[in-house]
Amino acid sequence: MTAVAGESFVEEFQQECVKAVNKLLKRRPQFPLEGYLPPPDVLFLIVDPSSTRLELVAQGMDVVRRQFPWLVMVLLTGSAWPADEDLMTWQLAGAVKLEPALGQREEQDALWVNDELKELSAGVWGSRREEGAA
């Protein structure tokens, strides 16, 4: 998801994250999200701050982390990593930095693997739906 600064950024950010989490969980509206623990798979949300100040995005991430402590959030920062002091100020002191940064080849490989996993998942879920319909 891409962060966009507005008048009430943190609230809007949280609402967008909740939508993304619902989509990740394939949750139906009749089941409450509060107190929900996901299946053992690792679920993650990639946050692209775009031109929004990182400290503002970090505030929103802190709110979402408190709501979904099991959710792995990946903050894209470009080539400049935030300083450890900034992470502490933003309540992200436990954040893990990906070092060394991914190069173009690694990013391309990651996109390829992601596409392959999506196809595999679609194939598995498609066959399970067909079994259920029989």
Q: Is 125 exposed, middle or buried (0-12, 13-18, 19+ CB in 10 A)?
A: exposed
Distance CA 87, CA 54 (A): 10
Q: What is the mean pLDDT of the chain?
A: 78
Query: How does pLDDT run across 35-80, given as a tens digit for each residue?
Result: 777 766 667 888 888 888 888 888 899 888 888 888 888 888 877 7
pLDDT of residue 132: 57
pLDDT for 131: 56
In this model, does residue 110 exceed pLDDT 60?
A: yes
How far apart CA 63 and CA 15 sit, in angstroms, is: 11
Task: Give the containing element (helix H, strand E) for 120.
Answer: helix 104-133
Query: What are the domain boundaries of the chain?
Result: 9-101, 103-134
